[in-house]
Amino acid sequence: MRLLRYEQAGTLHLGVLDGDAITPLEGLAGAYPTMRSIAAGGPDALERVGRFVSATRARTPLADVRLLAPMERPGKYLAIGMNYRKHAAEAAKLGIAIPEKQLWFNKQTTCVSGPHDDIVRGVTEKLDYEVELGVVIGQPAKGVSEADAPAHVFGYFVANDVSARDWQFHSNTFTMGKSFDTHGPVGPWIVTADEIPDPHTLTVRTWVNGELRQHSHTSELIFNVWQQIAYLSTAFTLEPGDFLATGTPEGVGVGMTPPRFLQPGDVVRCEVERIGVIENRVRA
């Protein structure tokens, strides 16, 4: 299924995408009032949602709504740095050491925005893009093995890890430069894990104003999704609705010669195969 959140006539709704229309989930609001509650409900919740959709005729045209971030504000939004081989080499040319272990940082959850919302540049002069495969945690994960990690994934989404490069290295944690408001567009929906049995088989791409900037494949991940979940859950519990951004490939603006940063009016389009597309305009 493709689960989404949307706004229509000033009201927030949950729904399931069916072609170019949405099946609203108001009839399940008592049991599942939020997307996080569906994620926490596991396979039983998805089975109940599926039965409801099959039995419901009500449809809302996708074109008539505004899509929101497909999950309410997550408890954690964790992102891994330099996790594609060529991107790590790209960073090394800029003097950034290639990490020996998984390099994780936080994006403050207030950065999360919708799949078509504007990216507000803010005070940065070096605004950059990073297409990423996003993961939503379903069942709580603590101390899980790589083999068991798939059972803890609720689904997948497209992420743009928008980065303020001049603020990114204000601290070693990257948090300031990764967390500006609106610098976390995600969506357009959550594709449930049963539709993507192997997330390491997907093409990822970014266009800026129609120019292809990033084009890679999740098979190029240095640490795969299962290794990421196992590593993180060694230290702390991953909870339903938490976000993981699994890394970006080469082709970011800071890695170009000369660097090419985003400017007001630019349109950034990020795509992950079999999941979807998000597109955001930059404004001052």
The model's pLDDT over 248-269, given as tens digits with 9 standing for 90+, comes to 999 999 999 999 999 999 999 9
The model's pLDDT over 141-198, given as tens digits with 9 standing for 90+, comes to 999 999 999 999 999 999 999 999 999 989 888 999 999 999 999 999 999 999 999 9
Distance CA 94, CA 241 (A): 35
> What pLDDT is attached to residue 95?
77
Measured from the Cβ of residue 26, the count of other Cβ atoms closer than 10 Å reads 12
> What pLDDT is attached to residue 93?
76
- Tell whether the model's pLDDT for residue 94 goes beyond 80: no
Contacts 24+ apart (CB under 8 A), 59-64: 59/18, 59/21, 59/22, 59/23, 60/6, 60/8, 60/13, 60/15, 60/21, 60/22, 60/23, 60/24, 61/20, 61/21, 61/22, 62/17, 62/20, 62/21, 62/22, 63/20, 64/8
Residue with tokens 């597109």: 279
